[in-house]
Chain A
Amino acid sequence: MTYIRESGLTYPVIMSTHLACIAVFGGMIVMTDLRLLGVALQDRPIADVINGLRWWKRLGFCIMVAMGIMLAGSKATDYYPNPYFWTKLSLLALIGIHALIFRPRVYNDPEKLDSSPIIPTRAKAAGALSLVLWTGVVCAGRLIGYYEPPNQKGHIVAANEPRP
């Protein structure tokens, strides 16, 4: 962890990987949510979208979390007082609850959604909430870099804070 914090290139590369994963895997979440809302790829079954992307989304999530742990762990004393960091983790926890609520009746049984003539409300709710929560996570994540702790002697400016 000390190595990551003090290295020249490693920390930004880890953060870039974290960001690149948002870009590459974010679209899978967007696609799933748009399909659940019924606004994209409407002529193909919901099951195709959910089943096709399931393991890739999980892989992306694992990489994201691994990068995130390295980022936060290497600068734990900077992240600990940061309210945006805790907001982000809270939103991630809400996403976990979202999964618990919607997995049994939406994500684990997409064929059932396809068999009904219109998309059930619970599927649309899952998609809409997912979009809102994930957008929140991304925004909170970016805002982490803007938090300035109250002035203390010897506070070191984190590398990811914007230039003054």
Chain B
Amino acid sequence: MLLIQSNAIADALNSSEWVFPIAECFHIAAFAWSIGLIALVDFRLLGVGMRRESAAEIARATAPWTLLGLAVVLLSGPVLFLSDARMYLHNPSFQFKIGALVIAIIFNYTIHRKVALSNSSTAAVQMLVGAVSLALWVSVVFGGLFIAFA
């Protein structure tokens, strides 16, 4: 715990006033990128958006780009976290966000992927999965913002 609080990264983050905002910009741009691409699949599962493509096609086309975005998110996130680890750990909104994030990522790479790629699920199942996915990721975003307001 002591190491989390006082480490080289935290020192770098807190000594320059620009490191945190820049890391945040990467974090936000990357989540807009990745959640947005996931949302494209979700919209298709809900039956709207690029309807001439199947959900499977959109999922397959966006998968590598989504992964890239998520990689930047998951690299920039800990950088932000380490700037004030204790505060974040005790922040209820942060705790909620991480919980929602874990569920969202697991859901995305299991049930969501399966339903999106299969093309054989019923419309009801597709819509449910699309809606749940959107709800999970929007919860992560809300959780993230409320960190500053909690």
A residues engaging B (CB < 8 A)? 12, 15-16, 19-20, 22-31, 34, 40-41, 44, 48-49, 52-53, 56, 135, 138-139, 142-143, 146, 159-160, 162-163
Confirm or deny: B31 has a beta carbon within 8 angstroms of a beta carbon on chain A. yes
B side interface size, CB within 8 A: 39
Chain A to chain B contacts (Cβ below 8 Å), 24 pairs? A12-B146, A12-B148, A19-B142, A20-B142, A22-B28, A23-B35, A23-B138, A23-B141, A27-B32, A27-B33, A27-B34, A27-B38, A29-B36, A30-B65, A31-B37, A40-B61, A41-B53, A48-B52, A52-B50, A52-B51, A52-B52, A138-B25, A159-B148, A160-B148
A103 → chain B, closest Cβ, in Å? 20
CA of A22 to CA of B57, assembled, Å? 23
B65 and A34 contact, CB distance less than 8 A: yes
Q: How many A-B residue pairs have CB under 8 A?
A: 112
- Candidates A31, A52, A138, A162; contact of B29 at CB < 8 Å: A138
Which residues of the partner chain A approach B141 to less than 8 Å between Cβ atoms? 16, 19-20, 23
A122 → chain B, closest Cβ, in Å? 22
B39-73 vs A, CB cutoff 8 Å, 1 = contact: the mask equals 11001000011111100011001100100000000
Which residues of the partner chain A approach B34 to less than 8 Å between Cβ atoms? 27
CB within 8 Å for A142 and B24 given contacts A44-B53, A48-B52: yes
Which residues of the partner chain A approach B145 to less than 8 Å between Cβ atoms? 12, 15-16, 19
Confirm or deny: B109 has a beta carbon within 8 angstroms of a beta carbon on chain A. no
CA of A48 to CA of B61, assembled, Å? 14
CA of A138 to CA of B34, assembled, Å? 14
A22 and B32 contact, CB distance less than 8 A: yes
B39 and A24 contact, CB distance less than 8 A: yes
B49 and A56 contact, CB distance less than 8 A: yes
Given contacts A30-B36, A31-B40, A41-B53, 16 further A-B contacts (CB under 8 A): A12-B149, A15-B145, A19-B28, A19-B142, A23-B39, A23-B138, A27-B35, A27-B38, A41-B61, A48-B52, A49-B50, A52-B49, A52-B51, A142-B21, A159-B148, A163-B148
